[in-house]
Amino acid sequence: MLDRCDRVQIAVHDAAKAAERYSQLLGCEVARRDHSRHLAARRTILAVGESEFELCEPDGAGLTEDFLARRGEGLMTAGYCTADLDSMAKRWEGLGIAYDRDAEQLYLGTDATFGLPIVISESTYRPRVGPVSFLYETTNTLLSDWRRVAAVYAGLFGLDPARFSEIGSERFGYIGTLTLFDPPNRLDRIELSQVTDDVHAMGRYAHKHGDSLYMCYVEVHDWPAVRQRLLDADARYTPRGADPVTDPDGGWVHPKELHGLLLGISRTGLAWDWSGRKDLVPPA
């Protein structure tokens, strides 16, 4: 029932300042501003490729203010979309899962997932803005058994486990799976990463926060332009290869550069390399 990775919600102290930084590094634009009752936040919503990043500034006591007090600025909610919100809501009701509906968004708390706060919006197709193509992944770091989590999410969201693709990384210290929604047409998925140690960054994070939302990934159709933006801003990022000036594939932007968001970036099609379809990776 999930169509795509649609958005993320990021808790910030100053949305205007954060929007300037995101625009500088990612070439995104402010799409609109509104208010969320559920989040108790004023939102500045950025058009990032075909996706949206919601910069959430607290508007009194509530979830956003609590997040900032507890964790500081950073990634607060993973967002996906479905063609039929009402059907998704009925599915959860049938499973006895509590949710909150705020305007045209459905919210699931971490008590219903494995530490993954989720917002579901209705599917809509937007014009692409800037050098980013789209958001395609949010990462659920786990101490829990990833197999159990995958089974629960398949039931919650109407996903087909036959489409999932197992993953593992010695470099980053995890095992798990990608809950691909619609392969090989799209890369969209929730990454389930069960950490295998407490030495690597992901393992340290999971042992500190438990099952939790860790980071997100975007695909870019103009990686050289984004890379140059990062270099011009002297922004800290780790390339996939050895050289941040010439790396052809992408990398990871440090959370301090994006108000607490750890952002992975990959060039068009590269992510199929670790998503079960190496044959779909175009040459650099």
User: Tell me, what's the pLDDT at 163?
Assistant: 98
Can you say how many angstroms the Cα of residue 81 is from the centroid of all Cα atoms in its chain? 13
Q: Provide the pLDDT for residue 106.
A: 99
166 HSE (CA, 13 A, CB side): 3
Mean pLDDT, the chain, integer: 98
Q: What is the structure's pLDDT at 21?
A: 99
CATH 3.90.180.10 matches 132-275 = no
Q: What is the pLDDT of residue 30?
A: 99
Phi, psi of 182 (to 5 degrees): -150, 60
**162 conformational bin, left if phi > 0, alpha if psi -120 to 50, beta if neither:** alpha
Ranges of CATH 3.10.180.10 domains, the chain = 4-122, 132-275
Q: What is the dihedral of CA 152, 158, 162, 165, to 10 degrees?
A: -70
Query: Which phi and psi (to 5°) does residue 33 adopt?
Result: -130, 145
Say what the pLDDT of residue 91 is.
Answer: 97
- pLDDT over 90 (residue 284): no
Residue 72 main-chain phi, psi, to 5 deg: 80, -175
In the block, tokens 């295998």 appear at 196
Q: Could you give the CA distance from residue 274 to residue 213 in angstroms, rounded to a whole number? A: 20
The CATH number that domain 4-122 falls under is: 3.10.180.10
Percentage of residues in the chain with pLDDT exceeding 90?
99
Interval 128-143 mean pLDDT: 99
Bond from prior residue into 184 cis (ω within 30 degrees of 0):
yes
Is the confidence at residue 147, as pLDDT, over 90? yes
| Tens-place pLDDT, residues 20-35 | 999 999 999 999 999 9
Please report which confidence band the pLDDT of residue 282 belongs to, taking 50, 70 and 90 as the band edges.
very high
pLDDT band at residue 89 using 50, 70 and 90 as cut-offs: very high
